[in-house]
A and B are shown apart, each in its own frame.
Chain A
């Protein structure tokens, strides 16, 4: 149990994908302008990462490993994730229209995003078991959501701040992201 908790907290805080590994940055800056959008995006990313890394684990362990084709991992995962997200979008659109209107538009944005690819890749590289890889992906998805929501709340407050002219918009967002990353560095001694 303790092992799983360590894995989860590690993915969530210590090795936060956005703020210490710097992947998924385009969504991080693109969707963090409003809190509502960032919550939707965080939920979408977490579920897509979890489902696609389950799928990726199965394909890796039952197809790629037995045939000694591990050098194909990246390209196979890209295909898997891209088509899986398409499928998920179709199903959600039909079966759960309210859910689709909440974060359906973010689904296709995620399809080719690096964070969705890097989580399954890292979890097969570390030889995680099936359960471990699920926990790892939920943790990293929630870590992404946490970073995104923190950033969005900060940026919403930023509207009232007196930002120097040359730094307005993306400039100050970069500065903020740097400070957030520094703050997350404080977690590095935890595990």
Chain B
């Protein structure tokens, strides 16, 4: 009996003592949070995408307010408006945010790309990727279960009935969450002003790539030969566009018409540039 009472007294006593000490310490050592942090946090888009390099919007808000060296323009989704507002609150100078947009480097829709087997597992690209690199014959292309669509914090991606994700250019903020979600690295963040993009990710040799997909880049190099500005070259059997040269110099976009498989596509920037410049038939 004595033991039971003592157990209750000792445990209860220790609990009570520490409870009081903690409650007291919580009052005494409570931190006053800089109100600017909340203000900045309210302005940020709260996609929690982490494109700024911090663990979420709250962490970036704290860093940008309390650390002098953290620039106010790190929020990619917020673009210039947010950068300006953050700069105003923190008293820093905002530099321009380079706007970016997600680009799907695969046009191998259901009718164009062959399947190597029928997949009946969980409808998730990462899961499918574990099984022989996915059901698609092309091991570099989009698997098409929409893992990127689910990952997008801004609802900018939709899965078309052709089994490929589509980017809503109005909603896409260029945060890059989908880029990391995609197990095949099919999605890339490109400049919104980019004129042409290679809509293929296949590093296979031409013959193999052509066999599994009718719109693959076969690495023939016709685009590179026809580009008068040397903005395209073929690396690892895949055409790569130097966006900088392309945006600055080119306004005829011969590569699109010359590509035998249609792997080079016009991007968002071309239509904008064309409306003011010359016409291109695509």
Residues of A within 8 A of B (CB): 59, 63-64, 67-69, 72, 75-76, 79-80, 83-84, 86-87, 90-91, 93-95
Which residues of chain B come closer than 8 Å to A79, judged between CB atoms? 11, 14-15, 18
Residues of B within 8 A of A69 (CB): 3, 6-7, 10
A76/B14 contact (C-beta < 8 A), A69-B6, A93-B31 known: yes
Query: Does chain A have a CB within 8 A of B89?
Result: no
| A90 x B26 contact (CB < 8 A) | yes
A76 touches B22 (CB 8 A): no
Q: How far is the CA of A72 from the CA of B14 in the complex (A)?
A: 12
CB of A87 within 8 A of CB of B7, answer no
A83 touches B22 (CB 8 A): yes
- Please report the C-alpha to C-alpha distance between residue A75 and residue B7 in the assembled complex, in whole angstroms: 11
Within 8 A of A (CB), among B6-58: 6-7, 10-11, 14-15, 18-19, 21-22, 25-26, 29-31
Contacts of A64 in B (CB 8 A): 10
- Chain B residue, CB-CB nearest to A95: B29
Knowing that A76-B11, A83-B21, A87-B18 are A-B contacts, what are 9 other residue pairs whose CB atoms are under 8 Å apart, sorted by A's residue number? Answer: A72-B10, A76-B14, A80-B14, A83-B22, A87-B21, A90-B22, A91-B29, A94-B29, A95-B29
- The A contact surface, by secondary structure, is helix
Nearest neighbor of B30 in chain A, beta-carbon distance: A94
Q: B22 contacts which chain A residues (CB < 8 A)?
A: 83, 86-87, 90
Contact call A83/B18, Cβ cutoff below 8 A: yes
The CA of A95 and the CA of B25, in the complex, are separated in Å by: 12
Contacts of A68 in B (CB 8 A): 3, 6
Smallest distance from the beta carbon of A95 to chain B beta carbons, Å?
8
Chain B residues near A87 (CB-CB < 8 A): 18, 21-22, 25
How far is A84 from B22 in the complex, measured between Cα atoms in Å? 9
Query: Chain B: how many interface residues by the 8 Å CB criterion?
Result: 16
Complex Cα gap A93–B26 (Å): 11
How many angstroms from the CA of A59 to the CA of B25 in the assembled complex?
A: 21
Note all chain B residues with C-beta closer than 8 A to A63. 10, 14
Residues of A near B18 (CB, < 8 A) are 79-80, 83-84, 87
Q: How far is B30's CA from A90's CA once the two chains are assembled, in angstroms?
A: 8
Q: Shortest distance in angstroms between B154's beta carbon and chain A's nearest beta carbon? A: 29
Nearest B residue (CB) for A91:
B29
Beta-carbon contact of B31 and A76 below 8 Å: no
Q: Check B29–A76 contact: CB distance below 8 A.
A: no
Q: Are B7 and A72 in contact (CB under 8 A)?
A: yes
Report whether B29 and A72 are in contact in the complex, using a CB–CB cutoff of 8 Å: no
Q: How far is the CB of A101 from chain B (nearest CB, A)?
A: 10
B63 → A minimal CB distance (Å): 11
Complex Cα distance, B30 from A86, in Å, reads 13
How many angstroms from the CA of A20 to the CA of B271 in the assembled complex? 67
In the complex, the answer to whether B15 meets A67 with C-beta atoms within 8 Å is no
A–B pairs, 12, beta carbons within 8 Å: A67-B6, A67-B10, A69-B6, A69-B7, A72-B7, A79-B18, A86-B22, A87-B18, A91-B25, A93-B31, A94-B29, A95-B29
Give chain B nearest CB distance to A175 CB in angstroms.
23
Residues of chain B lying within 8 A (CB to CB) of residue A72: 7, 10-11
CB of B32 to closest CB in A, whole Å: 10
> In whole Å, how far is A182's beta carbon from the nearest beta carbon of chain B?
34
Given contacts A59-B14, A87-B21, contact A93 B7 (CB under 8 A): no
Assess A75 versus B25: contact at CB under 8 Å? Given A69-B6, A93-B31, A94-B31.
no
Complex CA gap A86/B25 in Å reads 10
In the complex the two chains form, is B10's CB within 8 Å of A76's CB?
A: yes
| Cβ-closest 6 pairs across A and B | A94-B29, A83-B18, A90-B29, A90-B25, A67-B6, A87-B25
Residue picked from A72, A90, A91, most chain B C-beta under 10 Å: A90
Q: In the bound complex, how far is the Cα of B238 from the Cα of A12, in angstroms?
A: 56
- Collect the chain B residues with CB atoms within 8 Å of residue A75's CB: 11
| 0/1 string, B71-96, CB within 8 A of A gives 1 | 00000000000000000000000000
